[in-house]
Structure 1
Amino acid sequence: MISKANAARLRKMFSENHEPAMVVGKKRYHPTLPVPFPTTKAPKGLIRARLPLMADGLTHLDTDPRVVAISPYPLAAHYWATGDPEKPEKREHVPHVAIEMRDQTVVFIDYIPLTRQKLEPWIARRTRDLKAHFREQFERDYIVLDERHLWVEPRFSNVKLMWQHKSRVGEPPSLITARAAVRAARLPATIDQIWRNAGSPRLGFRWEGEASAIELRQANPIFTAVMQLAMRGELRLDLGQPLSMSSVVRRIEHDDNGFRPF
């Protein structure tokens, strides 16, 4: 049974007033190339990823509709290190993130490059110790992810593409109309079919004082709307195939809450 104190720590991790248990410095003060990652799923709207691999992991989390909240460097875990079974030592570790799912499941995650895991075999022992710690103290899971989980293609290219189409402040009002058209479409259908049935809309811009608009041929509001609605969990796309105008869009038929490491 989780203690009241640890239950309170879990709740606080995802609150607005949560302060990360570790501060990652800017690039010139830090050897592992920190990457600023904007996300509305974190309380402060920005996560400073300790390394590029972590930023890749955050891209997966930010586009996954099952993940509703991300807590960067959520807490300092004081666990028993069992390198010497005769003399276990108390050590401290701050996971890279904790995530909360739609069903309130919480998972702690570290992102560690595979080469480092091979060069430093003690990481596997620490992983076992941390798994035991988070299960015993918090009744929650702890996992380590690396390139084998994050860089699987075409999924990785797909989630990066989806992330580029995220809703942002100042996006054109025409995207509201595009999302309404996608929601009203008869599915399953390809993105191209939805686009044509909606009248083949395009995005464009007009300079102040100009009479006509300039069409942005590389920007398709229906494609963007589909990406956004998929990230919201309203639609399903097959991320096992490269995303394109030929991708088939389906409605969500059941609620899939289970978190899997890709």
Structure 2
Amino acid sequence: MKQSVRELMGFGDDHVPLLKIAKSQKHQQMPVTFPSRKAAQKTIRARSPLMRDALIHLETNPDVVRIAAYPVRIQYEIADRYSVIASLDHIPQVDVWTRQEQASYFDIIPVCIQQENRWIASRTSKLKKAFWEEYRATYAVLDENSLHIQPRMMNLATIRYHAYRVDEAAVMAVRRALLSVPAQTTVQAITDAAALPDRAHVFYNEDGSVAQCRVLTEVKRTFSAVMWLVVEGELKIDLSGPLSPLSAVSRTTSQIRTDGRAA
């Protein structure tokens, strides 16, 4: 798709959200700033913690290559049983662009608000039609029922936390380790094959001698590198149980890169 068309759909490199989210929101929602590698501005102002959780899903999905907040303004029609009586504007909360060159738009609305406002279901149907006719894009409403399935939600939050704290040397070591383990393996097997040393904080005396060395055993370099490769789509990890060293990992391709770039 041409860049100009993508820009019209909200995916331009200079995209600015059409809505500015205030510090306080209705329904006791608390705005959250969400750092994102896939957004043009590198941060997204989420309307609520539930929207943040939706962004975690999208940020860790290897098929999603671009995320934009409050991207476009679209019109949809409302009618009585005789004819169209009005056109209303709507700005969706999030849109994504995938590797398959498909655009999808989303609103994140808690279940309780949907139940209190039955008209949302009718609006959703109209917006699905409007987005498809205007952009050949899909539209959906996300809520706790689809976002908070456990342990998937907890695992995705863990993946995001570790994936964006990875170092290139660890990525390179893990990619090399993958050449020596079966295509179906575990996090622990990759850790053993990579044999990465722990990080350490070293403090020196004035004469250059080591005054103190603290090994950072809480920093799991291999685990973080594996999570990065999951986000990149090079590996797939079992999300049916809590993530652990015993979690099953499989390659998504027979070709393993041996460079350490974490683009």
Q: TM-score, normalised by structure 2?
A: 0.85
- 1:21 and 1:30, CA in 2 relative to 1: closer, same or farther beyond 3 A? farther
C-alpha deviations, 1:135-173, integer Å up to 9, x for none? Answer: 1121111000100110001110100000111235xx656
Alignment length (residue pairs): 246
State the identity %. 34
Match of 1:137 in 2: 134
Match of 1:175 in 2: 170
Q: After TM superposition, give the deviation of residue 178 of structure 1 in Å.
A: 3.8
Q: In structure 2, the residue corresponding to 1:219 is in which secondary structure?
A: coil
Match of 1:67 in 2: 64
- Which of 109-118 and 7-16 deviates more? 7-16
Q: In structure 2, the residue corresponding to 1:22 is in which secondary structure?
A: coil
Q: Which of 191, 204, 212 is the matching residue for 1:195?
A: 191
Match of 2:42 in 1: 45
Alpha-carbon distance in 1 for matches of 2:126, 2:56:
27
Alpha-carbon distance in 1 for matches of 2:6, 2:167:
38
Query: Runs in 1 of length 4+ with deviation above 6 angstroms?
Result: none
Indicate the RMSD between aligned Cα atoms, in angstroms. 2.4
1:1-262 equivalence runs, <5 A: 8=4, 10-12=6-8, 13-27=10-24, 32-82=29-79, 84-86=80-82, 87-168=84-165, 174-187=169-182, 188-199=184-195, 201-209=197-205, 210-253=210-253
- 1:114 and 1:208, CA in 2 relative to 1: closer, same or farther beyond 3 A? farther
- 1:242 and 1:29, CA in 2 relative to 1: closer, same or farther beyond 3 A? closer
Structure 1 residue runs without a partner (length 5+): 255-262
Match of 1:260 in 2: none
Contact 1:237 1:248 in 2 (8 A): yes
Alpha-carbon distance in 1 for matches of 2:132, 2:25:
37
Alpha-carbon distance in 2 for matches of 1:224, 1:132:
41
Q: In structure 1, the residue corresponding to 2:146 is in which secondary structure?
A: helix
Match of 1:259 in 2: none
- Which of 213-222 and 100-109 deviates more? 213-222
Contact 2:6 2:12 in 1 (8 A): no
Alpha-carbon distance in 2 for matches of 1:182, 1:112:
43
Alpha-carbon distance in 1 for matches of 2:245, 2:103:
35
Q: After TM superposition, give the deviation of residue 94 of structure 1 in Å.
A: 0.4
- 1:44 and 1:182, CA in 2 relative to 1: closer, same or farther beyond 3 A? farther
Contact 1:179 1:229 in 2 (8 A): no
Match of 1:258 in 2: none
Alpha-carbon distance in 1 for matches of 2:186, 2:104:
34
Contact 2:96 2:103 in 1 (8 A): yes
Alpha-carbon distance in 2 for matches of 1:66, 1:176:
20
Q: TM-score, normalised by structure 1?
A: 0.85
Alpha-carbon distance in 1 for matches of 2:177, 2:225:
7
- 1:219 and 1:9, CA in 2 relative to 1: closer, same or farther beyond 3 A? same
Q: After TM superposition, give the deviation of residue 114 of structure 1 in Å.
A: 0.5
Alpha-carbon distance in 2 for matches of 1:46, 1:88:
39
Contact 1:230 1:236 in 2 (8 A): yes
- 1:113 and 1:79, CA in 2 relative to 1: closer, same or farther beyond 3 A? same
Alpha-carbon distance in 2 for matches of 1:236, 1:44:
28
Alpha-carbon distance in 1 for matches of 2:181, 2:140:
40
Q: After TM superposition, give the deviation of residue 104 of structure 1 in Å.
A: 0.7
Contact 1:66 1:101 in 2 (8 A): yes
